[in-house]
Amino acid sequence: MSCQYSLLFLFLCGFAVLIVSKKTCKKELLEGTSCTIKLITKNEIKPNEIKWFHVTSETLILRWKDGDIKNIAEGVSKEEDGSLTFKNVSLKNAGKYKYHAFNVDGTEIGTGEEEIQVYAKAPKPTLTFDCDADRNATLTCDAENRTDLTLSWYIEDKIIQNEKNPQLFLIFYQTRENKTYSCGVSNPVSSEQSENITVLCYGPSPLDNFMVSILAGGGAILLLLSVLIICTCRRCRQQKKHQQDEG
């Protein structure tokens, strides 16, 4: 093969890849992707008329007849074989699609239905925490309040089973362990994880308070004892004085 032919061959290969890369729409799609819903006719007969409906919004999105496009919605295009391509699928494109294909006589030669679900990319959640007076902490995972997301919590990169609330409560002794926490959000097409954080709460913990109260309690007893001793001594001295005066 001469150099020129090789180049031509490569060029054609590239072209073939481009054509093949028109991918078929999956059931669950990431917003912004491009894909095609296939139109299939009996015995692969070339249709003379095609109608595509978005059943969910009851709109005709594409009508093609006698080689001309009569109606077309924004953001879609028609393939050579009548298949429907989304250039940049959006959340409002979600739902059920239906097509009808007819031959020259107006006889239906193909019909089909396909449903797609579209999801926005998961945002990176922000993880913050608040400490209370007892050094308990409340961790909050903020992911823009999106209802399509499932939340999960991780301690030292291990998932905490069955913990799906956007807030996680840590009792004071857990906040002393220096463990890293993170949260993650996901939908069927994407997922994101927060930064790893170490929860540190300053101030006295209930245990410290307990120690303080023991010490304080001890102090009070000492004070009481001192007062008692002083009083007893005084009385002693007074009694002695009395005895001396009388004697």
Ligand X SMILES: *[C@@H]1O[C@H](CO)[C@@H](O)[C@H](O)[C@H]1NC(C)=O
Provide the binding-site residues for ligand X, judged by CB under 6 A.
32, 88, 90, 132-134, 136, 142, 144-145, 157, 171, 178, 182, 193, 195-196
Question: In this complex, which beta carbon is closest to ligand X, that of residue 30 or of residue 40?
Answer: 30
Question: In this complex, which beta carbon is closest to ligand X, that of residue 101 or of residue 127?
Answer: 127
Residue 100 neighbours by CB under 8 Å, 6+ apart: 50, 51, 108, 110, 111
Question: In this complex, which beta carbon is closest to ligand X, that of residue 161 or of residue 178?
Answer: 178
* Rounded alpha-carbon distances, angstroms, from residue 6 to 9, 10, 11, 15, 17: 5, 6, 9, 14, 17
- The CB-of-182 to ligand X minimum distance in angstroms stands at 6
- The CB-of-145 to ligand X minimum distance in angstroms stands at 4
Gap between the Cα atoms of 79 and 96, Å rounded: 19
Q: Which residues pair with 85 in a beta bridge?
A: 36, 77
Question: In this complex, which beta carbon is closest to ligand X, that of residue 25 or of residue 39?
Answer: 25
- The CB-of-221 to ligand X minimum distance in angstroms stands at 28
Residue 243 sits at the vertex; the CA angle it makes with 237 and 247, to the nearest 5 degrees, is 145
Question: In this complex, which beta carbon is closest to ligand X, that of residue 41 or of residue 136?
Answer: 136
- The CB-of-101 to ligand X minimum distance in angstroms stands at 29
- The CB-of-109 to ligand X minimum distance in angstroms stands at 34
**For residue 178, what are its two tokens?**
């220096």
**For residue 7, what are its two tokens?**
């180049």
